[in-house]
Amino acid sequence: MTVKTLTVKENILGANKEKAEKNRKLLDSHHVLMINVMSSSGSGKTSLITRTIQQFRDRYRIAVIEGNIAPSIDAETITRNNVLAIQLNTAGGCHLDAQMIRKALDALDLDQTDLIFIENIGNLVCTADFDLGAHKNAVILSIPEGDDKPHKYPVMFVEADVVLVNKIDVLPHFDFNLDTFPGIISGLNPSARVFPVSAKTGEGLDRWFSWIQERLN
Amino acid sequence: MHEQSIVQSILALALKNAEKANARRIVGINLVVGDYTGVQEDAVNFYFGFLSKNTIAAGAKINYTHVPGQLRCRDCDILFPLQKHDYQCPKCDGNRIEIVGGRELYIENMDVE
């Protein structure tokens, strides 16, 4: 049997990208804004999303797609705020993909939804490689994690539209340099916005809320 | 964990292309993997052996071409390789650095019978 070489030159994640584009089109046809929130574990994704829901729930219909390695309290925390939460259990997988998001979107009434947050798996490594069909990527980095993370996990920060520096209420106790940090981000990704915030005290959240509001208008 | 879904995509792509070419067997798959993807050969080989069972790709050898991280200074417009986590231009010491290489992840070609 002769062996022949087939030229392929196709991206491994191409099929995911196509599904992501379909998700985005689906959302656009229903006038829904979807924001993908990524960070490491423990940086405050649930707290920030919960605070954001409290800000917008009187005026907008909100849903949250929860990615968790195992079922957790996160969906319960969010449901207590009268927002629809869809729990995706990846059974140990380290990232979400566009197909999983599509299943979640199919479970939602998109005509009755204005804003969707995806709470991605807590992981700075590979979640950013998978386009989910969201309109914007928000990356959270918390003060205790350190200001060296953008150079350790650059892909995550290159894919970010917004970087939320969370837990600024504990800044005095850590070596995180908040003065030079925005320059580190803009060096890698000039179009990303950087908002220092505290989900606990509410400090700085107004800029994040305005940023979302501009995209809902 | 990560590699399992990557391998599922590699296999699907390989089988689709083999079918299009009416191939009876996939002998080798030549992958191009950028260093930023973090894809580990051992893990890919492990999952591929497992997932390709009972397909025409069973027993195929995966060959890897690694692409190192490549950076560009946005100010000087010079290219330089990624070293450790050093995002600083060797010419101007600036940190306005764009990642221009190392995120590749695709099948270049494959050998079929």
Query: A117 and A96 in contact (C-beta within 8 Å)?
Result: no
Q: Is A142 within the bounds of a domain? A: yes
Cβ contact A15–B12 (<8 Å): yes
Tell me, rounded to whole angstroms, the distance of Cα B56 from its chain centroid.
22
Query: A150 and A180 in contact (C-beta within 8 Å)?
Result: no
For residue A95, what pLDDT band results from cuts at 50, 70 and 90? confident
Chain B residue numbers touching A1 (CB-CB < 8 A):
24-25, 113
Domain span at residue B92? 2-112
Q: Which residues contact A217 (CB under 8 A, 6 or more apart)?
A: none
Chain A residue numbers touching B97 (CB-CB < 8 A):
187-188
Can you give the pLDDT at residue A73? 60
Domain span at residue A38? 14-216
Interface with B, mutate which of A12, A18, A184 (most B CBs under 10 A): A12
- Mean pLDDT, chain B, integer: 94
Q: Is A1 within the bounds of a domain? A: no
Domain count, chain A: 1
Q: Using CB atoms, which residue from A6, A95, A97 is nearest to B112?
A: A6
Res A71 pLDDT > 90:
no
Q: Is A3 within the bounds of a domain? A: no
Size of interface A-B (CB pairs under 8 A): 103
**How many other β-carbons are positioned within 10 Å of the β-carbon of residue A2?**
5
Tens of pLDDT, residues A104-151: 999 999 999 999 999 999 888 888 889 999 999 999 999 999 999 999
**Closest-CA residue to A142 (of A65, A213, A8, A37):** A37
**CATH code of the domain containing A109:** 3.40.50.300
Cα atoms in the 13 Å half-sphere on the side-chain side of A210 = 6
Can you give the pLDDT at residue A196? 98
Average pLDDT over residues A149-159: 95
Burial A151-175 (b: 16+ CB within 10 A, else e): bebbbbbbbbbbbbbbbbbebeeee
Tens of pLDDT, residues B14-65: 999 999 999 999 999 999 999 999 899 999 999 999 999 999 999 999 999 9
Q: Is A131 within the bounds of a domain? A: yes
Res B7 pLDDT > 60:
yes
Can you give the pLDDT at residue A25? 98
- Mean pLDDT, chain A, integer: 93
Closest-CA distance, B15 to chain A, in angstroms, reads 11
Percent of chain A having pLDDT more than 70?
96
Q: Is A100 within the bounds of a domain? A: yes
Res A53 pLDDT > 90:
yes
Tell me how far apart the alpha carbons of residues A107 and A182 are, in angstroms, rounded to a whole number: 38
Tell me how far apart the alpha carbons of residues A177 and A172 are, in angstroms, rounded to a whole number: 10
Can you give the pLDDT at residue B1? 53
**CATH code of the domain containing B76:** 3.30.2320.80
Cβ contact B113–A5 (<8 Å): no
Domain count, chain B: 1
Q: Which residues contact A106 (CB under 8 A, 6 or more apart)?
A: none
Specify the long-range contacts of residues B40-48, CB closer than 8 Å, at least 24 apart: B40/B3, B43/B2, B43/B3, B44/B3, B44/B6, B44/B7, B44/B10, B46/B3, B47/B3, B47/B4, B47/B7, B48/B7, B48/B10, B48/B11
Q: Is A62 within the bounds of a domain? A: yes
Q: Using CB atoms, which residue from A5, A94, A155 is nearest to B1?
A: A94
For residue B3, what pLDDT band results from cuts at 50, 70 and 90? confident
Interface with A, mutate which of B9, B22, B24, B74 (most A CBs under 10 A): B9
Average pLDDT over residues A66-77: 69
Q: State the complex-level ipTM.
A: 0.89
Can you give the pLDDT at residue A120? 94
Can you give the pLDDT at residue A80? 76
